[in-house]
Amino acid sequence: MILSDLLDLPVHDATERLGYCVDARLVLDAPVVGPLAGARLHGLVVSPRTGTSFMGYERSGLTAPWPLAQWLRHRHRGTFFLMWEDVLRVTTDRIVVVTDATRYDPSPTD
């Protein structure tokens, strides 16, 4: 599987559609391969309204151009982050997660 296979897929739990996968978070803590550490998938960013990308505007410091930033924040209100461990399965038409998965703030943190 490649990352683009996950983007825009609807995300469901056992009872409802939660939204669409709009982004993924990777961490560089896998064993070093060549000059770089290997990456692993940490989790998915899910938007309840749209499958389009945030274009980086979910990061708290990005505010310009102002109209675009405001429009994207409004469009993606309610967006959340799900840990990869909460994903039960991925098929060609959906991502299924556990029903009681914790929904985290999607803003990247250090």
The tens digit of pLDDT for each residue in 7-30 reads 999 999 999 999 999 888 888 887
**Could you list the residue range(s) of the whole structural domain that residue 40 is in?**
3-97
Residue 110 belongs to a domain: no
Residue 102 belongs to a domain: no
Residue 109 belongs to a domain: no
3-state secondary structure 9-73: CEEECCCCEEEEEEEEEEEEEEEEECCEEEEEEEEEEEECCCCCCCCCCCCCCCCCCHHHHHHHH
Give pTM, 2 decimals. Answer: 0.75
Count the domains in the chain.
1
Share of the chain above pLDDT 90, in %: 36
